[in-house]
């Protein structure tokens, strides 16, 4: 059996709006990653980008379960000796709430050129407004 390959001009990309108000970070991130990859479509192909665009609003009202606000730590390294820095999830939320969702979804996508292309279709906003009304996005209830 041959693998079905969707021609690029026949890929149907939709826009979805996800309201993160009161939602748990990991549960919402898995569904967003699934939509970005296109796994919900019957034409899914793991080497092709045929996913949809996802807009996340109210990222500043996301929830974490348990004591993760204080115990979950995000690390980054500058590349220099002793250049590691860390932030808790609460500090990331106060500084830039969009990064919480962005980093969670990024970890669920492939670590290659295809994953980077799929991540560019994710738009995250802290407030309830977004500038993508012209694309007429559908509301995705998670």
44 in a domain, yes or no? yes
Per-residue pLDDT reduced to its tens digit, 29-41? 999 999 999 999 9
Residue 112 lies in a domain: yes
Global pTM?
A: 0.93
Confidence of residue 27 (pLDDT cuts 50, 70, 90): very high
Confirm whether 37 is domain-assigned: yes
Cα separation, 38 vs 24, in Å, equals: 22
Within-domain flag for 126: yes
Q: What's the N-to-C CA distance of the chain in angstroms? A: 35
Strand partners, 55: 17, 123
- The 10s digit of each residue's pLDDT in 58-90 is 999 999 999 999 999 999 999 999 999 999 999
Q: What is the model's pLDDT at position 2?
A: 81
Separation CA 17–CA 141 (nearest Å): 9
Q: Where are the beta strands (DSSP E) in 1-142?
A: 15-19, 53-57, 73-77, 84-88, 122-124, 138-139
Print the domain residue range for 42. Answer: 14-63+96-139
Q: Which residue has the tokens 């694309």?
A: 135
CATH number for the domain including 113?
Answer: 3.90.1180.10
The two tokens of residue 75 are 């690390």
How many domains is the chain partitioned into structurally?
1
Whether 123 shows a pLDDT value over 80: the answer reads yes
SS3 (DSSP) at 84: strand
C-alpha–C-alpha distance, residues 98 and 93, integer Å: 8
| 95, HSE (Cβ side, Cα atoms, 13 Å) | 9
Residue 3 has pLDDT above 80, yes or no: no
Q: How far apart are CA 125 and CA 115, in angstroms?
A: 21
Residue 125 lies in a domain: yes
Q: Say if 58 falls within a structural domain.
A: yes
| 35 inside domain | yes
């Amino acid at each position: 059996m041959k693998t079905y390959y969707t021609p690029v001009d026949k890929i149907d990309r939709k826009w979805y709006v996800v309201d993160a108000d009161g939602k748990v970070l990991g549960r919402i991130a898995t569904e967003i990653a699934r939509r970005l990859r296109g796994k919900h479509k019957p034409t899914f192909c793991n080497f092709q980008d045929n996913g949809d665009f996802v807009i996340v609003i109210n990222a500043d009202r996301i929830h974490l379960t348990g004591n993760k606000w204080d115990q979950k730590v995000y690390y980054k390294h500058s590349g220099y000796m002793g250049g590691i820095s860390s932030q808790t999830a609460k500090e990331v939320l106060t500084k830039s709430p969009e990064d919480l969702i962005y980093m969670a979804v990024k970890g669920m996508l492939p670590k290659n050129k295809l994953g980077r292309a799929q991540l560019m279709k994710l738009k995250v906003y802290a407030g309830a407004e977004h500038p993508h009304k012209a694309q007429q996005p559908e509301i995705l209830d998670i």
